[in-house]
């Protein structure tokens, strides 16, 4: 994702007709995601359809003894046909989009087992009958591994796993019942793994990273600037404009949301602009266009600049042994890079203090180090953006920021 001079855009769903609207509105990344119902049917599960909305669902209670589980393990003909169908769909997608990143994909192991048993049942079984759930997860994992290998062998650039049900688990249970299985799936292929999880996954961040996914697609309730501060820079963050807002709000509001996200992520090259989840079919075309127009026209910092910013940011918040000024001079950081690192550091410590995760001593130490840099490099007239507005790096603004007065002091427009 670092070889581009602009930000990549890849909403989930919301595809526009490029013949009608132009190539500008074509996503940079496309993928397929085989749904959980079709995957369950490969194992012989019976479905029904709700008349009022034509929604197909798996009839619960179909796994009731060991004989059924044994059949799930051996239902090879249907699974083979499903994989062949998946490969054909992937080939068609690649043939239509030879110039794009194209991925294969499907729903994840815990979500698949949740569809088999029912979401409430699988969550209860994780507590009451964990070995039973793990036996089903192993079956699901093996099937998904076969799908992933087939996609890789047939030219997929990455493999997408959608694991929405896993957000219902605690971080520890997520690791046991989802993360470990996803890690095995990604370990069996050499192409990058893309992992999508709905909901507030902030507490699960460490375990999401530990899956080995090279891209995390996260929901709109997750703060991406916070994620950028803690997720390793070799993992891409993909998201996270609200799909509900995309459908319900007017174009002006969408422009504001997209601009805010681009501004928050301006110092990070490991970011792809997308929606937080699937964009509803009824979404206005102008709202989808706003996502592209206000991102493709924005300039992304080059990878070396972002790395230098991240280097000083990490040094400041970790109280590195080396003097900060020495770090700046050793790596030949520019004033622009230093100011950006200070902006990220101030945003980080202010948010941590608000959340009660940074004590006053740590806060003061970091703040004093930042003040020393500002004074020595004479950058007090430079502007930064900290959680809600712009401010200059002068003594008055810094004092108000340190005290936490008002909304971090007076902002310039």
Say how many C-beta atoms besides its own lie within 10 A of residue 404's C-beta.
13
Structure tokens at 393: 């790096």
- Tracing tokens 């681009």 back to the chain, one arrives at 262
Please enumerate in sequence order all residues whose Cβ is within 8 A of that of 159, keeping only pairs 6 or more positions apart, or say none.
103, 104, 105, 148, 151, 152, 185, 186, 189, 191, 192, 193, 194
Domain layout of the chain by residue ranges = 18-300, 304-403
Sign of the CA dihedral 45, 48, 53, 54? positive
Which of these CATH numbers, 2.60.40.1120, 3.40.430.10, 3.20.20.210, 3.30.160.20, describes 18-300?
3.20.20.210
**pTM exceeds 0.85:** yes
- Please provide the distance, in angstroms rounded to a whole number, between the alpha carbons at the two ends of the chain: 32
pLDDT at 402: 72
Say how many C-beta atoms besides its own lie within 10 A of residue 279's C-beta.
23
pLDDT at 413: 33
Written as tens digits, the pLDDT of the chain (413 aa) is 555 678 999 999 988 888 788 888 999 999 999 999 999 999 999 999 998 888 999 998 888 777 678 778 877 889 999 999 999 999 999 999 999 999 999 999 999 999 999 999 999 999 999 999 999 999 999 999 999 999 999 999 999 999 999 999 999 999 999 999 999 999 999 999 999 999 999 999 999 999 999 999 999 999 999 999 999 999 999 999 999 999 999 999 999 999 999 999 999 999 999 999 999 999 999 999 999 999 987 777 889 999 999 999 999 998 766 789 999 999 999 999 999 999 999 999 989 988 888 888 888 889 889 999 998 998 988 888 886 778 888 777 777 777 765 444 433 33
How far, in Å, are 109, 146, 233, 261 from residue 80 at the CA level?
Answer: 18, 9, 38, 42
- Tracing tokens 């049900």 back to the chain, one arrives at 165
Chain centroid to CA 103: 16
Are the C-beta atoms of 185 and 172 separated by less than 8 Å? no
How far, in Å, are 40, 261, 272, 381, 385 from residue 347 at the CA level?
Answer: 45, 15, 21, 18, 8
pLDDT at 412: 38
Structure tokens at 6: 């602009």
Say how many C-beta atoms besides its own lie within 10 A of residue 304's C-beta.
11
Rounded Cα distance between 62 and 83, Å, is 23
Rounded Cα distance between 32 and 147, Å, is 12
pLDDT at 292: 95
- Nearest residue to 1 (alpha-carbon basis) of 9, 122, 160: 9
Task: Report the relative pairing of strands 383-385 and 390-392 from DSSP bridges.
Answer: antiparallel
List, in sequence order, every residue forming a beta bridge with 6; answer none if it has no partner.
299
Structure tokens at 63: 């796994």
pLDDT at 70: 79
* 5 DSSP assignment: S
Within 13 A of 86's CA, how many CA atoms are on the CB side? 34
Are the C-beta atoms of 218 and 186 separated by less than 8 Å? no
Q: Give φ, ψ of 231 to 5 degrees.
A: -80, 135
- Nearest residue to 304 (alpha-carbon basis) of 326, 332, 323: 332
Within 13 A of 322's CA, how many CA atoms are on the CB side? 12
Rounded Cα distance between 375 and 147, Å, is 57
Buried residues in 77-103 as b, exposed as e (16+ CB within 10 A) = eebeebbeebbeebeebbeeeeebbbb
């Amino acid at each position: 994702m670092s070889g581009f001079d602009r930000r990549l855009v890849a909403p989930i769903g919301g595809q526009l007709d490029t013949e009608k609207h132009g190539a500008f509105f074509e996503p940079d990344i496309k993928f397929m995601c085989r749904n959980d119902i079709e995957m369950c049917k490969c194992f012989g599960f019976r479905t029904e359809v709700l008349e009022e909305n034509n929604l197909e669902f798996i009839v619960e209670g179909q796994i009731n003894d060991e004989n059924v589980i044994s059949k799930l393990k051996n239902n090879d003909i249907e699974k083979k046909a499903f994989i062949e169908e998946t490969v054909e769909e992937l080939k068609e997608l690649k043939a239509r989009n030879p110039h794009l990143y194209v991925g294969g994909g499907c729903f994840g192991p815990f979500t698949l087992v949740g569809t088999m048993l029912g979401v409430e049942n699988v969550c209860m079984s994780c507590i009451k009958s964990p070995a039973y759930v793990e036996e089903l997860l192993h079956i699901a994992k093996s099937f998904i591994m076969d799908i992933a290998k087939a996609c890789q062998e047939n030219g997929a650039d990455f493999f997408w796993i959608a694991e929405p049900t896993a957000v219902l688990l605690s971080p520890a249970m997520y690791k046991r019942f989802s993360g470990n299985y996803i890690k095995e799936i990604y370990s069996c292929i050499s192409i990058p793994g893309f992992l999508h999880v709905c909901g507030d996954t902030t507490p699960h961040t460490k375990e999401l990273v530990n899956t080995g996914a090279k891209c995390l697609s996260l929901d709109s309730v997750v703060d991406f600037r916070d994620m950028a501060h803690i997720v390793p820079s070799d993992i891409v963050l993909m998201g996270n404009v609200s799909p509900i807002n995309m459908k319900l709000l007017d174009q002006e509001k969408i422009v504001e949301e997209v601009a805010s996200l681009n501004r928050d992520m301006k110092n990070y090259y490991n970011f792809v602009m997308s929606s937080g989840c699937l964009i509803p079919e009824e979404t206005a075309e102008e709202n989808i266009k706003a996502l592209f127009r206000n991102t493709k026209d924005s300039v992304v910092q080059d990878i070396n600049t972002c790395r230098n910013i991240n280097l000083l940011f990490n040094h400041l918040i970790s109280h590195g042994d080396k003097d900060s000024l020495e770090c700046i001079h050793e790596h030949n950081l520019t004033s622009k890079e230093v100011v950006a690192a200070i902006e990220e550091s101030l945003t980080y410590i202010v948010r941590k203090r608000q959340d009660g995760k940074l004590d006053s001593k740590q806060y003061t130490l970091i703040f004093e180090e930042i003040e020393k840099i500002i004074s020595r490099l004479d950058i007090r007239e430079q502007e930064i953006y900290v959680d809600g507005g712009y401010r200059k790096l002068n003594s008055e603004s810094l004092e108000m920021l340190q005290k936490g007065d008002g909304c971090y002091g007076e902002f310039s427009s």
